[in-house]
Amino acid sequence: MGGVAVTTQAKLDAPRLRADFPIFEQQIHGKPLAYLDSAVSTHKPRQVLDKLRTFYETSYANVHRGVYTLSERATAEYEGAREKLARFINAPSAREVVFVRGATEGLNLVAYAWGLVNLGPGDLVVVTELEHHSNFVPWQYIAKRTGAELRMIPLDDSGELDLGELDSIPREGNVKVVANNLVSNALGTINPIEKLSAWAHAQGAIMVVDGAQAAPHRAIDVQALGCDFFAFSAHKMCGPTSVGALWGRRELLQSMEPFNLGGHMIRKVTFEETTWGEVPAKFEAGTQPIAEAVGFGAAVDYLNDVGVDAIEQHEHELAAYSLGKMAESPGITLYGPPADRRAGIVSFNLDEIHPHDVAQILDMEGVAIRAGHHCCQPLMAKLGVAATNRASFYLYTIPEEIDRLVEGLHKGTRAATGCSRTPTRRPTGRTRSAATRSRSSSPSARTATRSTR
Ligand code: 7TS
């Protein structure tokens, strides 16, 4: 595998890193692709694509099944990827890392395999108003099936968790599970997992962390987070689709029932009964996404070469830059915390223009953003909106793309209001400006940080 364009350094060089990503060689509607939707999925560098091809061409076979050379080679690569992932999140042992299809499957695995057995009437599952459906729906469903109840940690006005509510929750039942994302996909909020882990353990509960938006963007240390489970997806961190990982504490994984049943996960099968294999095999029934797992390992190599701290810093700078530019633009409502307390994700709405229309207008400019509820319908209800626009950044994002985004938004606003003037700059305020307030048909100049309504 070739090296990356830059080696580990304090500040990454996004324009040079872009050269690693063949997708940026094309134009969209005659314009360079400005891909501002990395929270939904990231693009893949040549290093990962090359690894997939080389693996298939030279080392592919099914794993843990053959005694022939090729199978042993494939198994070594597959298990090598597991070791890389374990190091990437500072897991105490690679045997605690289970390959899954993605964060969604990892979280379902915990909800089913742990929740179905351990939850019952009188128990509480505590989630937050900020969860992606992947860490909300499984818990809502398993709670209903077992007679347990769901409780929500609410958001405050800046889009951050209001931990003041924690005191009252244990009075309502036995807290058995606390489930929270480390980084919110909808608002970019970075959540206080260490605190929540300590609180969960003080209640005798397990702490389940949805790391789908965190693992791509910041250094992860599952031991320092103090959690019991951590789920993440390769495709959001330069890796292939259909593979992810679930880390779990060994004693919990060992005590749990299996999730999928079939080949490879067994110790012994007779007509009467079956006993389970050791962790992680117990949770890896059937043929796994073998090449994808190997590609996941290559993605982790790539991120390590770029430098995870440098990626985090780069995204903070882009978040600050875009929040600053948008706050100066009339007609934009921004959601979520200030730049220093969020990852590279910016959610916003334009007055009088539906998010889908905004996304289409931007597409004509070659700018790709996501518009919708971001699989966070409870959060959208809390914000009082059906949908938002969301721009999200990664190691290959450059400030010029944010300039093009903001210019596209101005274009959209001008078209919607039938007005060709360039929006005037105004100081960031927490309220609608008086000038805008008096013209109900004009775009409003709303606060830059209004988050919950
Ligand atoms: N958790 C979070 C916080 C996510 O952002 C996502 C996907 C998932 C879980 C599920 O990951 P998957 O790889 O299993 O699909 N996020 C998004 C998004 O932001 N827009 O669409 C999917």
How many structural domains compose the chain? Answer: 2
Determine contact, residues 293/81, Cβ cutoff 8 Å. Answer: yes
User: Given ligand 1 and candidates 101, 108, 134, which is best to mutate, with the most ligand atoms within 8 Å of its CB?
Assistant: 134
Q: Is 270 helix (H, G, I), strand (E, B) or coil?
A: coil
Determine contact, residues 212/233, Cβ cutoff 8 Å. Answer: yes
Q: What is the DSSP string of 199-240?
A: HHHHTT-EEEEE-TTTTTTS---HHHHT-SEEEEEGGGTTS-
Angle between helices 69-88 and 290-306 in degrees, nearest 10 = 40
Q: Indicate the residue among 281, 304, 327 that finishes a domain.
A: 304
CATH code at position 95:
3.40.640.10
Task: Catalogue the active-site residues.
Answer: 375
Domain around 83 = 51-304
- Does one domain contain both 295 and 368? no
pLDDT in tens, 18-75: 999 999 999 999 999 999 999 999 999 999 999 999 999 999 999 998 899 999 999 9
Return the number of other C-beta atoms located less than 10 Å from residue 132's C-beta.
21
Ligand 1 atom nearest residue 185's Cα? 5
- Does one domain contain both 278 and 395? no
Cα 390 to middle of ligand 1, angstroms: 13
- Does one domain contain both 77 and 169? yes
- Does one domain contain both 204 and 217? yes
Query: Strand 27-28 vs strand 31-32: parallel, antiparallel, or unpaired?
Result: antiparallel
What pLDDT shows up at residue 291? Answer: 98
Q: Indicate the residue among 304, 328, 361 that finishes a domain.
A: 304
Residues whose beta carbon lies within 6 Å of some atom of ligand 1: 39-40, 102-104, 132, 134-135, 181, 185, 210, 212-213, 233, 235, 374-375
State both tokens at 5.
Answer: 């364009």
Please list the ranges in the chain whose pLDDT falls under 50. Answer: 1-3, 5-8, 420-453
User: Given ligand 1 and candidates 38, 132, 189, 388, which is best to mutate, with the most ligand atoms within 8 Å of its CB?
Assistant: 132
Residue 449 is assigned to a structural domain of this protein: no
Backbone angles phi, psi at 311, to 5 degrees: -65, -45
Q: Tell me, what amino acid is at 352?
A: E
Q: Buried b / exposed e across 56-78, counting CB within 10 Å, b at 16+?
A: eeebbebbbeeeeeebebbbebb
Cα 41 to middle of ligand 1, angstroms: 8
Cα 65 to middle of ligand 1, angstroms: 32
Ligand 1 atom nearest residue 374's Cα? 20
pLDDT in tens, 365-412: 999 999 999 999 999 999 999 999 999 999 999 999 999 999 999 998
CA distances from 296 to 242, 245, 310, 313 (A): 10, 10, 20, 23
- Does one domain contain both 90 and 162? yes
Cα 132 to middle of ligand 1, angstroms: 7
Q: Indicate the residue among 243, 270, 304 that finishes a domain.
A: 304
What pLDDT shows up at residue 10? Answer: 67
Q: How far apart are CA 136 and CA 133, in angstroms?
A: 5
- Does one domain contain both 202 and 271? yes
